[in-house]
Structure 1
Amino acid sequence: MVRVLKSQRPSRRLVALQKLMLWATSHAGGAHNVGRTRKITQSMESRQRKVRGVQESTATVAGVPVRWFRPAQAGPGLIFHVHGGAFVAGSSLAARAHSGLAQSNSVELVSVDYRLAPEHPFPAALDDVWAVYSEVARNRPTVIVGESAGGGLAMSLVRRALDQGADAPKALVTMFPWADLSNSSDSFLRNEDRDLLSREGLSRSAVAYAGDLDLKTPLLSPLFGSFTDFPPTLIVVGTHDCLLDDSRHVATRLHAAGVDASLVEIAGGFHGFILLPVPESKEAKQRISSFVGRAFIH
């Protein structure tokens, strides 16, 4: 079943940061190209800090760069992280924001630096996360976690793992997932003045990633694929996010497939709020940590 859990009113800090970031975006000199998107994403990621007591290192798995986060006392479990960035930007540095998730659950976390579009269009990103997952999750209890484009990619990864008969994850956490690259959600209109995303900008990124493929191809846009046999899933999204409807539609599809799914809507949350120093981010991380902890117990 789908459980919709809504938080209370947005904090003053979240509202203030929303206004500041919207102002900065409106004065950024027009629509972002790939270069500017990468610069902005890199700036946000560089502000993330891992928690104390977690060792960070880089490595290569199956020929793909990865970043490991290892608590001092780590059990057999693994968190497999897939970063966001509209498939054209982003890196494993974003996983620093989730290092506390590894520590609180005493498990290792690995984040994948998959190849980016437009230099490497679909299916490069999916092939990379699949190659790493196939190596590190074998015979190991694993929870997949992804945000934004990484949230959609995480769903595509679950589908590929199930279809290939690989070890299925124990659970999935997808934060404000980009699940429909056709960008047909009405929430783009409802939240266009409240979010940093835009339909125009994401549509350019969708084409950069998809090339000439139909944007509703299931492994591109998991909303249009099958959710049969998906593990328990937690979806977290803000009510001011342009991708709010993507999350709601995914929850509906999961419910129709008989999946145990929970949808958490954070009041006033705009896209990427979980990377900000606001109470809403702390609340969301606490919910995610509790969900992940239960997954490893069962």
Structure 2
Amino acid sequence: MELSQKRMRKQLERMKPLITGCSMELARKGQDALGALLSRSYHKEVRVEEVCFPGFPACRIVPRDQSPVGRMLYLHGGGYVCGDLEYAKGFGSVLSAVTGAEVLCPAYRLAPEHPFPAGLEDSFSAYEFLLEQEGPVVLCGESAGGGMIYALCFLAKEKGLPLPAGLIGISPWTDLTASGSSYEENRERDPSMTRERLDLFASCYTECRDNPLVSPLFGDLTGFPPSLLFVGGDEIMLDDSRRLHEKLLSCGCASTLEIAPELWHAYVLYCLKERRTDLDRIAAFCHSCFCGENNFQIPRKKA
């Protein structure tokens, strides 16, 4: 499934007023439908197996016609309030198909029914499950899930567990205090997200928005594994990625940031035909992590 950037942007702009004012129930249904659409597009290339965890469902996605080349943990987005297992299967299927990896997708508990730290605890349980097997693990997440992969690293360091081999953040939500200037500068340009909507999601999730386990931007990132970050140039959350990238570098960590001009929040999940190389970059990054390499350089488009 490939969509054009121009056509998708127009659709998002038309839907933005409806999404901003819709109920939590409707928002959840809409997001889950997007995941189902993605998984149907890749169902012939992967195989999905249910995995049982105490308290939350999950699935394991593997390439249909080859042995997995590595293992990934994918944490879905949705502002910590949206996203079920069907949604997680969507981009999880894309990741498995393009990387050749086994992808574990937990449907962690959601706020407001289960506020912080419930979702993080579930995600950490899934990470511990992967650590029981041999070999490196790469974490990937978009939006809230993108922030949670960094929070998960804080927990791993605290508990003395191995850190992942690499981190892939797609428009990661790393600052729930919304202190970046892009929240105002891109308010009119962003075709899909509003600050008010994010504030609602944050209030459902936690009362302590500057906790590093909630807003990883405010934690010590020293010793973190290599990061590959994607963010839309027009999204209000641009500074969440930009400032994270700068802090990773200042802490001595390897980080590559791809700012896509005129694109929106979590644009990678839309599999736009103009951005085919983004999935290639994710695959190349994963393979470098699985092989134990730490000198990954992001491939650039040919002029």
TM-score, structure 2 normalization = 0.88
For residues 164-190 of structure 1, give each alpha carbon's deviation from its aligned partner in whole angstroms, at most 9, with x where no partner exists: 111211111011000001112221222
Letter in 2 for 1:132: A
> How many angstroms apart in 1 are the aligned matches of 2:222 and 2:150?
12
Change (3 A) 1:140 1:30: closer
1:51, 1:100 within 8 Å by CA — same for their partners in 2? no
CA RMSD of aligned residues (A): 2.0
Higher RCO, 1 or 2 (CA under 8 Å, sep at least 6)?
A: 1
CA distance, structure 1, for counterparts of residue 84 and residue 20 of structure 2: 24
- Is contact 1:143–1:171 with CA below 8 Å preserved after alignment? yes
Residue 39 to residue 63, structure 1, CA distance change in 2 (3 Å): closer
State the partner residue of 1:66: 58
Residue 170 of structure 1 aligns with which residue? Answer: 165
- Which runs of at least 4 in structure 1 moved beyond 6 Å after TM superposition? none
Change (3 A) 1:192 1:120: same
Equivalent-residue separation in structure 2 for 1:30 and 1:155 (angstroms): 27
Change beyond 3 A, Cα 1:104–1:252: same
Equivalent in 231, 235, 245 of residue 229 of structure 2: 235
2: CA distance between counterparts of 1:155 and 1:237?
Answer: 16
How far apart, CA to CA, are the structure 1 residues paired with 2:30 and 2:100? 32
Query: Matched residue of 1:229: which SS?
Result: coil
Identity of aligned residues (%): 31
Amino acid at match of 2:156: A
- TM-score, normalised to structure 1, is 0.89
Partner of 1:129: 123
Partner of 2:8: 17
**What SS is found at the alignment partner of 2:234?**
coil
Alignment of 1:240-255 (within 5 A): 240-255=234-249
- 1:151 is aligned to 146
Q: Deviations over 1:58-96 (max 9, x none)?
A: 221354311111123224621110000000001343343
- Residue-by-residue CA offset, 1:84-117 (whole Å, 9 max, x unaligned): 0000001343343343432443321111100000
Q: Assess, with a 3 A threshold, how the Cα gap between structure 1 residues 29 and 173 changes in structure 2: closer, same or farther.
A: closer
Unaligned runs of 5+ in 1: 1-11
Unaligned stretches of 5+ in structure 2?
Answer: 293-303
| Among candidates 95, 98, 112, match of residue 118 of structure 1 | 112
Q: Distance in 1 between matches of 2:157 and 2:20?
A: 42
